[in-house]
Structure 1
């Protein structure tokens, strides 16, 4: 039976996984990949992985015992950290502009940056405190 492009892509992903796990070398991977895209039937595709164990591409690889990888971070969602960073940058720029204008004019100017950072900061604070936190998948 003839294989489709999706079937070839699936076998290519399996070959990439075996290469990443060290079962086949890069040269073998390149040779098999070349044969893969010339294959027309399921039988030809099966021959490319016949000497390799089955791989579940959905399963995550097990961590090595005693590995030096850091523990997963607990804390704020990366998007929320980005939002706080944008708020801090915009607030800082506005305060610098206010300070320059105040110093060069010689008069105390109303601190208008409070109106920029205040409402935005309150919304971010409420989102951080009462938000749903990182989603687990």
Structure 2
């Protein structure tokens, strides 16, 4: 089958890219470009691109072309008026209650009351409760 001008130009462009990447020296590039522009049929292109990466047609390549992974989905933005600190307060309160339960079980099974260390976990609960109340007061006004 006869080759057209666009086919010759495509091969010449691929050879130019190979020259720019340092895969061909100037003499080899010049020789191959002359052969590409003198090509009359597709068979005349044989050997011009065979030893260059990315220039072999996909159906003849042993490696598959790279397909980028799909873009990650962006989370929905939370509007400030939708988030009231309830989740943070609930998490802190749950942690305090679990720690208090552990303290109670260990104190009960040992027969005497240990130091009430869950009080340290109560500090974030108080801070988030105060933050939630002040936020609520701002929204009411």
Q: TM over 0.5: same fold?
A: no
**Larger-gyration structure (1/2):** 2
User: Larger RCO: Structure 1 or Structure 2 (Cα < 8 Å, ≥ 6 residues apart)?
Assistant: 1
- TM-score by length of structure 1 reads 0.38
